[in-house]
Amino acid sequence: MNMRKTALVICMAALACLAVGCSVFHKEATAGQQSTTSDGEAATNVANSNVPVKAAMGRYYDFDDIQVPTQLKLDKDKSILFKVGTFKAGLLTFSDNLEVESLINFFAEGMARDNWVLKSSFKYPKVALFFAKQGKTCVIHITEHTFSTEVAIWVAPTL
């Protein structure tokens, strides 16, 4: 089972590096700005929402530069951490019943405060936020279930 988790971490790290390198979306809109889709509906940038996010409502777990909302509970059975010297990589999985949009805002703003740059994102039906900073990449995957929301935070070195 450990070999399977290691292979999964390596695959996700490679995917994260590839996705960050092939950035499609750019954070060009300013906070609260909306664009219009081809059918005339207002489309809000993935980092923007009307739900206020408070920095004091988060805490740091194993990654000292990634803040997580205090309401989320760490699932150690679905997490794996790899450490070499002072560098940590791996997957931390959290869950609780939180609103997806508020989580998107929380991570977009919190990661920016910790000097991460949002490189790209996917939205609907699941959310994936791709961040980069000197020497490492991070993918935050948010999945909404019927009675809970799961957040998976992948961190890998930049190749």
Average pLDDT value for the chain: 77
**Model pLDDT for residues 36-46, shown as the tens digit of each residue:** 333 333 333 33
CATH code matching the domain that covers 2-26+53-157, chosen among 2.70.50, 3.40.190, 3.40.50, 3.30.310: 3.30.310
- Kindly indicate the confidence band of residue 34, based on its pLDDT and cuts at 50, 70 and 90: very low
In this prediction, residue 159 carries a pLDDT of 79
Does the pLDDT value for residue 29 go beyond 80?
no
Domain coordinates of the chain in residue numbers? 2-26+53-157
Is omega for the bond preceding 125 within 30 degrees of 0, making it cis?
yes
Q: Could you give the percent of the chain with pLDDT greater than 70?
A: 65
Does the pLDDT value for residue 50 go beyond 90?
no
Does the pLDDT value for residue 106 go beyond 60?
yes
Does the pLDDT value for residue 89 go beyond 60?
yes
| Residues forming beta bridges with residue 144, ordered by sequence position | 149
The distance from CA 75 to its chain's CA centroid, rounded to whole angstroms, is 16
**Model pLDDT for residues 132-149, shown as the tens digit of each residue:** 999 999 999 999 999 999
pTM across the whole model: 0.66
